[in-house]
Structure 1
Amino acid sequence: MVDRRTFTTLLAGAIAAPTASFAQNSAARNVFYSAVGPELTLHSVDVDNAALVKQGTVSTLANIQYAWPHPSKRYLYVVSSNGGPGSAGVAGDKHLANAFKIDPATGALTPHGGTLTLPSRPIHASVDISGQYLLTAYNDPSGLTVHRINADGTLGDRVNQPEALDTGKFAHQIRVTPDNSRVILVTRGNNAPTDNPVDPGSIKIFGFKDGVLTNLAAIQPGDGMHFGPRHLDFHPTQPWVYVSVESQNKLYVYKRDAATGLSREPLFIKDTLSDPASKLRQAAGPIHVSPDGRFVYLTNRAWWLTDFEGKQVFAGGENSVAVFAIDQTTGEPTLIQNADGHANYLRTFGIDPGGRLLVAASVWPMPMREGKDITTLPAAIVMYRVSGDGKLAFVRKYEIDAAVRKQQFWAGMVTLA
């Protein structure tokens, strides 16, 4: 098996998938944005017919890493870099943040204000509840920044942080708590079975006031050497926080705590794989609680390769969307489904606000062994209908023209203002 950086080298010659036909008409008010390399494509969402309507594309100056809408839904903030995955693993020298104005009628994006230069490759970004600050996480070196958002939605100056902040190893996500009083930095570390070197993972909690952060707590089991958290999401009405633990394929549940941000110990720990005893390397992915708080969804991903007659092919493993039902009294999640991913490496996904549709995006094509032959599983946008019991039913997928050096690295759902 190989690591992610070796994967980009081995797969450099993979055949890009053909672009599928998209639906032609929709009156839906939801939009879905998909980023492939530096290009960000708008699709309106027809929830009733579980279809996408491809509308248009804008570009940034580097490969898009993540994006986050302003609370007003009038602006979208995009961070990009020419480093990291898709660039042969090099650090890069162009790391940027841009604001786009969202057309409230169509979702079309137009550049809004100037481009900010960031210190290193951004891996995640979000906006605080008040809409006054853009928070950005960086994986190498692990860190964070806070930038002001001006009254007109443009990006402003970086906020000076007078205190030296504990930003751990390999930051992967930055979020503000629903009361806007705490910032949570999820630091994955490097502690999967084949990681070298090995670093601890942790969830770092900071006080947050006027854009300034103060060290508050570090939440982790033991020394964090067997804890690789990736992303978290908040229950919409209860104080429960759901954390996908990438390196161990677990779902941890914490309770929000006024003193430390999160409870020191998890309320529950659950397996995310359909076969937790599998010896194949796996990685839990992004996580979202349903809009009504009844279910939590996260992806399981496998992208490692093995040799087949001198060529590299998929080594096997589970690419799926895990579905958990949430006990509304205790917050306990119960695994009720592992829906087939129908593509490789579902890195991002979104749920429409009505909770009727889940749309996931895979990163790249994957060479697959079929008997003595090798075929290519294309990158795709995968659409599922969400039933009343929270389970997913596959509807269709749109093949995407992506490749190792032009990855579909972020996608997300936004409802228009």
Structure 2
Amino acid sequence: MVDRRTFTTLLAAAIADPAVSFGKTMANKNIFYSSVGPELTPYSVDVEKAELSKQAAVSTPANIQYAWPHPSKKYLYVVSSSGGPAAGDVSGSVHAANAFAIDPATGALKPHGDTIKLATRPIHACVDHSGRYLLIAYNNPSSLSVHRINADGTIGDQVEQPNKLDTGIFAHQIRATPDNKRVILITRGNNAPSDNPADPGSIKVFTFKDGVLANLAAISPGDGMHFGPRHLDFHLTKPWMFVSIESQNQLAVFKLDDKTGLSRDPLFVKNTLADPASKLRQAAGPIHVSPDGRFVYLTNRAWWTTEVEGKKVFAGGENSIAVFAINQTTGEPTLVQNADGHGNYLRTFNIDPSGKLLIAAPLWTMAMRDGSTVSAGLVLYRIAGDGKLTFVRKYDIDANEKKQQFWAGLVTLA
């Protein structure tokens, strides 16, 4: 954790350095949190001006993997690990979950309760809609855990799971369905070319009651060998679930079902690239449905390198935000834009509740063939009435292969 001296230094730097301070005003209570390595930094968001104002950072036991707010918006739950790609050590030895209290006026974070030690690297976490349980997904070995959230917002005991759960290969995201009766675990598998073993991907669906899970369904179109799901999001009013299919650069739409959990096959599958015929290696990324349910956004990512004159540089590919309009009768998405990502590897992004502003967070700085670099940062776009994005500005951030901007997200304060 950050001690008083470090906290004071960070705060003074944010006040003194205009390049760090970004915006100067806080016009509302939207806070964008960005993690770089183990540090988590809040930025107040002025939606109308599309400006950010940086606040003092806090620290976690290891590199931050994901974070999720409590439904009350009073607490933020953060999982961290010394394992993963940034560490150069797949396994790692430090794995933790922490609760932070959110200042209702500023969004500043304060440690809340004890650090909870975890057995392996957590890759995703969320809070169920009742606010009583913290759900955590682990990628290797692929698994999950459920932890009680105490009445005061601190993390409590782990819930024992009496049933043997099918957790697939390479879990990547865990979410509770809108009715809170089911939990969905996205298991990515491994079917990227050449550098990974071939393993099937699947969507695992569990019943969920009082923190206890039971197997309900496993969705693997075909044999799952050409199905690499990464993230999902739900339509707010319709029974539709939108899934980014990572290694195929596709968007799939499934129907939620009260009895079976999910349709066995997608209702629609769409390509996400501006040039679907491109032979360059690509990967679809995170996904979010707009607050009004009219559009769905996901990223296309390319980050592989090639060697030029003894230096590793970007090999090429599409880093963009794909914008789809959603047919409100059928759920069919139609691609309407591929907006330039203004950065390499857009691993996370979020949309403000008014649906006017989208903020994307490139993972790291990348060297280019022409000798230039494309920096990591926070990229701000205005969202038009037709869902399309217009780039406004980018705030550069110091992030690299070893110290990555691995997670970022927006919270509207209570």
TM value normalised by structure 1: 0.94
* Counterpart Cα distance in 2 of 1:194 and 1:24: 48
Q: Deviations over 1:273-328 (max 9, x none)?
A: 00111100000000000000000000000000011122111000000000000011
Give 1:75 shift: 0.4
Deviation at 1:61, TM superposition (A): 1.2
Report the alpha carbon displacement of residue 196 of structure 1 after superposing the two structures with TM: 2.7
Query: How far apart are 1:210 and its partner, in Å?
Result: 0.6
CA distance in 2, matches of 1:189, 1:382: 30
Deviations 1:321-342 (A, max 9, x none): 0000001111110000000000
CA shift, 1:162, in A, is 1.0
1:62 corresponds to: 62
Partner of 1:52: 52
Within 5 A, what are the aligned runs for 1:269-348? 269-348=269-348
What is aligned with 1:215? Answer: 215
Partner of 1:375: 372
Partner of 2:5: none
* TM-aligned CA deviation for residue 24 of structure 1: 1.1
Distance 1:380 1:58 in 2: 18
Q: Is the 8 A contact 1:21 1:398 kept in 2?
A: no
Gaps of 5+ in 2: 1-17
- 8 Å CA contact 1:344–1:365 kept in 2: the answer is yes
Alpha-carbon distance, 1:195 to partner: 4.1
CA distance in 2, matches of 1:292, 1:362: 25
Equivalents in 2 of 1:415, 1:96: separation in Å? 25
What SS does the corresponding residue of 1:345 show, helix, strand or coil? strand
Contact 2:287–2:297 (8 Å) recurs in 1: yes
Matched, 1:409 2:406: yes
Q: Is the 8 A contact 2:228 2:248 kept in 1?
A: yes
Instruction: State the 1:20 CA deviation.
Output: 5.4
SS at match of 2:114: coil
Q: Secondary structure at the match of 1:252?
A: strand
Number of the residue aligned with 1:173: 173
User: What is the deviation of 1:192?
Assistant: 1.7
Cα deviation, 1:340-367, whole Å, max 9, x if unaligned, reads 0000000000100000000000111101
Please state how far the C-alpha of 1:402 moved relative to its aligned partner.
0.8
Q: Is the 8 A contact 2:337 2:388 kept in 1?
A: yes
Q: Which residue of 2 aligns with 1:139?
A: 139
- Do the aligned residues in 2 keep the contact of 1:19 with 1:400 (CA within 8 Å)? no
Listed one character per residue, the Cα deviations across residues 128-163 of structure 1 (whole Å, up to 9, x for unaligned) are 010000000001110100000001100000001111
Q: Distance in 2 between matches of 1:114 and 1:26?
A: 31
In structure 2, distance between residues paired with 1:247 and 1:334: 20
What are the equivalent positions in structure 2 for 1:245-284 lying under 5 Å apart? 245-284=245-284
Contact in 1 for aligned 2:126/2:174 (Cα 8 Å): yes
Kindly provide the CA deviation profile for residues 352-392 of structure 1, in whole angstroms up to 9, marking residues without a partner as x.
Answer: 0000000000111101011xxx2221111100000010000
Q: Are residue 182 (structure 1) and residue 182 (structure 2) matched?
A: yes
In the TM superposition, residue 21 of structure 1 has moved relative to its aligned partner by 5.2
Residue identity over aligned pairs, in percent, reads 74
Alpha-carbon distance in structure 2 between the residues aligned to 1:264 and 1:335: 24
Counterpart for residue 84 of structure 2: 84
Q: Report how far residue 26 of structure 1 moved.
A: 2.0
Local SS of the residue matching 2:56: strand
What SS does the aligned partner of 2:206 have?
A: strand
**RMSD over aligned Cα, in angstroms?**
1.1
Match of 1:396 in 2: 393
Q: For residues 327 and 310 of structure 1, what CA distance do their matches in structure 2 show?
A: 49
8 Å CA contact retained: 2:20, 2:54: no
Q: CA deviation at 1:52?
A: 0.3
Q: Which SS does the other structure have where 2:48 is aligned?
A: coil
TM-score, normalised by the number of residues in structure 2: 0.95
The aligned counterpart of 1:23 is 23
Task: Look up the equivalent residue of 1:75 and give its one-letter code.
Answer: Y
- What's the secondary structure of 2:369's corresponding residue? strand
Give a deviation string over 1:195-252, Cα, whole Å, max 9, x none: 4311000000001011011011101112100000000000010001000000100000
Following TM superposition, by how much is the alpha carbon of 1:19 offset from its aligned partner in structure 2, in angstroms? 6.2
Native 8 Å contact 1:169 1:199 kept in 2: yes
> Partners of 1:143 and 1:329 in 2: how far apart?
36
Identify which range, 389-398 or 214-223, moves more after superposition: 214-223
Aligned match of 1:385:
382
* 1:323–1:337 CA contact under 8 A, matched in 2: yes
Distance (whole Å) between structure 1 residues aligned to residue 148 and residue 218 of structure 2: 26
CA distance in 2, matches of 1:54, 1:249: 34
Q: Structure 1 unaligned segments of length 5 or more: list them.
A: 1-17
What is the alpha-carbon distance in structure 1 between the residues aligned to residue 176 and residue 235 of structure 2?
A: 13
Aligned to 2:6: none
CA distance in 1, matches of 2:28, 2:199: 45
8 Å Cα contact 1:20-1:400 kept in structure 2: no
Q: CA deviation at 1:99?
A: 0.2
Aligned to 2:4: none
